[in-house]
Amino acid sequence: MAEEEKVYVVDATSPLHKVMMCSPAYYTFNGINVITAEWMKKGDTEKNDVMVKEWQMLVDAYKDNGIEVVEVEANPEYQVMTFARDYGCMIKEGAVIGHFRHPVRQVEAATYEAKLKEMGVPIVARVNAGCMEGGDFWMIDEHTLVWGMVDRTDEQGVESLRHQLEKYGYTVVGAPCPPDNLHLDMIFNIVAPQVALACIDQLPYNFLQMLKRRKFELIPVASEDMYKHGCNVQCIGNNKVVAIEKNKHINDKMRALGIDVIDVPLDQILHAGGGPHCLTQPIERY
């Protein structure tokens, strides 16, 4: 009897079993996103020791919930490496490798890919034209893959993947959004089956209609809360979400729908331009 194919990530909300992360020990502020650029103007600096403590709290929250955390070794030469989400994404069949838009991040890709190889994760598609970063990726359902075309993923990147992923039965959709939002996960986040946080004003009509047809319930998030990472949470399955403690008004809306919210007191690490979702690459979720 043929050995059953290993399944990696089946959707956005099933239980997380394994994630990949990278410490911000050597993170260096870089004005490639509007959030960090604003903090730099105010004279803020990295405070790596504080960032590492906060990051460790997120790691501990995952471990406390039975999730295996695979750590990629931070490299002092790579300024922005802590955001493990962005080198690519995972689908049922394995890894999809993206292409970073900014040269300062392009150097990270080989290290993440080497770790995937070490774990035996197959690479099933690779962006060969244009750009794609993992913060723009969502599995809307088991057949529909969406990439936000915000600041870091472009039409060529989405087209390049459409051709490669059709053979697995996926429909690939691009969702153009205003570039100041950086990534789609900053304005849209699936938190439970058919429930999502959404900065509705920032999302395109066709994308919203697609969600409506699939009977999604959207929890509205104010556009200005994008800058406070209001949508940037990580669903870990079993109706649980890891979220930023400060965003109490948003976390309360999730709790009102019966979602169990695990608060993590992140603050300094958010000045680098990413939250729990950006810091986490799901490797196994089923």
- Tens of pLDDT, residues 95-115: 999 999 999 899 999 999 999
Looking at the domain assignment, is residue 231 inside a domain? yes
| Residue 247 falls inside a structural domain | yes
Answer whether residue 9 is part of any domain: no
> Would 151 be classed as within a structural domain?
yes
Of 244, 249, 250, 280, the closest CA to residue 265 belongs to 244
Q: pLDDT per residue over 39-64, tens digit each?
A: 778 887 788 999 999 999 999 999 99
Mean pLDDT (whole number) for 141-165: 97
Tokens of 41: 């103007």
Whole-prediction pTM value? 0.95
pLDDT classification of 1: cutoffs 50, 70, 90: very low
> How far is CA 212 from each of CA 67, 162, 196, 217, rounded to the nearest angstrom?
32, 23, 11, 8
In the predicted structure, residue 159 carries a pLDDT above the cut 60: yes
- Mapped onto helix, strand or coil, the DSSP state of residue 41 is helix
Q: Which of 246, 238, 247 is nearest to 219 (CA)?
A: 247
Does the residue 180 lie in any domain? Answer: yes
Position 7 in a domain? no
Cβ-in-10-Å burial (0-12, 13-18, 19+) of 103 comes to: exposed
CATH label of the domain that carries residue 98: 3.75.10.10
Count up the domains in the chain and report the number: 1
Read off the pLDDT of residues 61-93 as tens digits, 9 standing for 90 and up.
999 999 999 999 999 999 889 999 999 999 999
Q: Is residue 32 pLDDT above 80, yes or no?
A: no
Q: Is residue 6 part of a domain?
A: no
Q: Is residue 4 part of a domain?
A: no
Q: Which domain holds residue 28?
A: 16-285
